[in-house]
Structure 1
Amino acid sequence: MRKNKNASDYTSGGGSFPGIVVGMSIFATYVSSISFLALPGNAYSGNWNSYVFSLSIPVASLLAAKYFVPFYRNIQSISAYSFLEERFGYWARAYAAACYLLTQVSRIGSVLFLLALPLHSMLGWSIPFIIIITSLCVTFYSVLGGIKAVIWTDAIQGTILIFGALACVVILFLSFPEGAGQFFEIGAEYDKFSLGSFGAALNVPTFWVMLVYGIFINLQNYGIDQNYVQRYKSAKDDKSARFSALFGGLLYVPVSLLFFIIGTALFVYYKTQPGLLPEGISGDQVFPYFIVNGLPTGVTGLLVAAIFAAGMSTISTSINSGATVILTDFFQRGKKEADVKDEKKNMKILHITSFVLGLSGMCVGLAMISVKSALDAWWSLAGIFSGGMLGLFLLGYVAKKVKNVYALIGTVCGVALISWMTFSGQTIFHSYMTIVLGTITIFCVGFLLSIIVPKFFKKVNNQN
Structure 2
Amino acid sequence: MNLHILDYLVIAAYFATTIGIGIYCSRKNTDTEEYFLGGRSFPGWAIALSLVGTTMSSVTFIGHPADTFKTTMIRLVPGLAMPLVVIVSAYLFLPFFRKGTISSAYEYLKLRYSASVSCYAATLFFLLQLIRVASILFLISLVIQSVTGLDYVLCMIVAGGVTALYTGAGGFGAVIWTDVFQTIVLISGAFIIVAIAAYSTEGGFLSLLETAQAGHKLSFSADLNTDTGAIEPLAKGFSLSERTMTMLFIIGIVQFLTNQFDQTNVQRWCSAKSAKEARKAILILGIIAVPIWYSFKFVGAILWAFFQKMPDPIATEILNGTRKAEEIIPYYIVEYIPAGIAGVLISGALAAAMSSLSSSINSASMVWVNDIYQPYIAKQQSDQHYLRVGFIAAGVISLFMIIGAYWFYVADNKTFNDIGLILISVFGGGLLAVYLVGIFSRLADARAIWIAIAGNAAFTGYLLLSTRGIIPVDYTLKIDIYYAALCGNTITLLLALVIGYFLRPKQDLKNLTVWDQDDKPLV
Q: Give the TM-score taking structure 2 as reference length.
A: 0.78
SS in 2 for 1:169: helix
Deviation string for 1:52-74 (max 9, x for gaps)?
12211111111111012221011
Q: CA deviation at 1:247?
A: 0.6
Note the C-alpha offset of 1:409.
0.6
Letter in 2 for 1:444: L
* Counterpart for residue 439 of structure 1: 489
**1:227-306 equivalences in 2 (<5 Å):** 227-275=264-312, 277=314, 279=317, 281-306=323-348
CA RMSD of aligned residues (A): 2.9
From 102, 106, 111, the counterpart of 1:77:
102
CA separation in 1, counterparts of 2:177 and 2:219?
A: 37
Which one is further off, 3-12 or 201-210?
201-210
Output the amino acid matched with 1:241.
A
Q: Which residue of 1 aligns with 2:479?
A: 429
Cα distance change of structure 1 residues 154 and 383 upon mapping to structure 2, 3 Å threshold: farther
**Identity within the alignment, %:** 28
Residue aligned with 1:277, SS: helix
Q: How does 1:32-431 map to 2 (within 5 A)?
A: 32-127=57-152, 130-177=155-202, 179-195=204-220, 196=222, 197-199=234-236, 200-222=238-260, 224-275=261-312, 277=314, 279=317, 281-333=323-375, 338-339=380-381, 342-362=382-402, 365=405, 386-425=428-467, 428-431=478-481
> Offset at 1:362?
4.0
Compared CA separation, residues 364 and 90, structure 1 to 2 (3 A): same
Q: 1:422 to 1:141 in 2, by over 3 A?
A: farther
Q: Distance in 1 between matches of 2:355 and 2:278?
A: 20
Deviations along 1:386-431, one digit per CA (max 9) or x if unpaired, are 5221111111111212222111111111122222233442583333
Give the conservation status (yes or no) of the 8 Å contact 2:128–2:420: no
CA distance in 2, matches of 1:137, 1:155: 17
Partner Cα separation in structure 1 for residue 300 and residue 266 of structure 2: 32
The answer to whether the 8 Å contact 2:166/2:174 transfers is no
Letter aligned with residue 445 of structure 1: L
Compute the displacement of 1:277 (Å): 2.5
Paired amino acid for 2:181? I
Q: Distance in 2 between matches of 1:438 and 1:125?
A: 44
Mapped contact 1:183–1:268 kept (Cα < 8 A): yes
Match of 2:40, SS?
A: coil
Q: 1:435 to 1:356 in 2, by over 3 A?
A: farther
* Whole-angstrom distance in 1 between the partners of 2:175 and 2:132: 16
Q: For residues 218 and 381 of structure 1, what CA distance do their matches in structure 2 show?
A: 21
Q: Distance in 1 between matches of 2:288 and 2:448?
A: 39
**Could you tell me whether the CA contact under 8 Å between 1:391 and 1:442 is conserved in 2?**
yes
Contact persistence 1:33–1:115 (CA under 8 A): yes
Distance 1:97 1:153, change over 3 A: same
CA shift for structure 1 position 177: 4.3
CA contact (8 A) 2:444 2:503 kept: no
CA shift in 2, pair 1:109/1:41, >3 Å: farther
Q: Go from structure 1 to structure 2 and tell me whether the alpha carbon gap of 1:129 and 1:50 turns closer, same or farther (over 3 Å shift).
A: farther
Poorly superposed stretches of 4+, deviation over 6 Å = 367-372, 376-382
Measured in 2, the distance between the counterparts of 1:298 and 1:241 equals: 38
1:329 is paired with a residue whose SS is helix
Q: Which runs of 5+ in 1 are unaligned?
A: 455-464
1:386–1:435 contact (8 Å) kept in structure 2? no
Instruction: Classify the secondary structure of the residue corresponding to 2:74.
Output: coil
Say how many residue pairs are matched. 448
Contact 2:60–2:352 (CA<8 Å) still a contact in 1?
Answer: no
Deviation at 1:210, TM superposition (A): 2.4
Q: SS at 1:191's partner residue?
A: coil
**Unmatched runs of 5 consecutive residues or more in structure 2:** 1-23, 223-233, 469-476, 505-523
The 8 Å contact of residues 27 and 252 in structure 1, kept in 2 or not, is answered as: yes
CA distance in 2 between partners of 1:107 and 1:128 (Å)? 19
Q: Is the 8 A contact 1:34 1:110 kept in 2?
A: no
Q: 2:488, 2:50 → 1: CA distance? A: 29
The structural deviation recorded for 1:334 is 5.1
Distance 2:61 2:492 in 1: 34
Deviation at 1:93, TM superposition (A): 0.5
Q: Is the 8 A contact 2:218 2:298 kept in 1?
A: no
- Contact kept in structure 1, 2:426 and 2:457, CA below 8 Å: no
Contact 2:197 2:303 in 1 (8 A): yes
Q: Is the 8 A contact 1:102 1:385 kept in 2?
A: no
Structure 1 residues 384 and 261, CA, compared in 2 at 3 Å: closer, same or farther? farther
Give the direction of change, closer, same or farther, for the CA distance of 1:384–1:414 in structure 2 (3 Å limit).
closer
| Residues 254 and 319 (structure 1), Cα distance of their counterparts in 2 relative to 1, 3 Å cut | same
- How many angstroms apart in 1 are the aligned matches of 2:422 and 2:80? 19
Match in the other structure for 1:460: none
Separation (CA, whole Å) in 1 of partners of 2:70 and 2:239? 22
CA–CA separation in structure 1 for the residues paired with 2:377 and 2:147: 51
Taking the aligned partners of 1:176 and 1:390, their CA distance within structure 2 comes to: 47
Q: 2-side partners of 1:395 and 1:453: how far apart?
A: 15
Q: TM-score, length-normalised on structure 1?
A: 0.87
Compared CA separation, residues 105 and 214, structure 1 to 2 (3 A): farther
Q: Which amino acid aligns with 2:155?
A: I
Cα separation, 2, equivalents of 1:271 and 1:40: 16
Q: Closer, same or farther in 2 for the Cα pair 1:269/1:102, shift >3 Å?
A: farther
SS at match of 1:274: coil
Code of the residue aligned with 1:440 in structure 2: it is: T
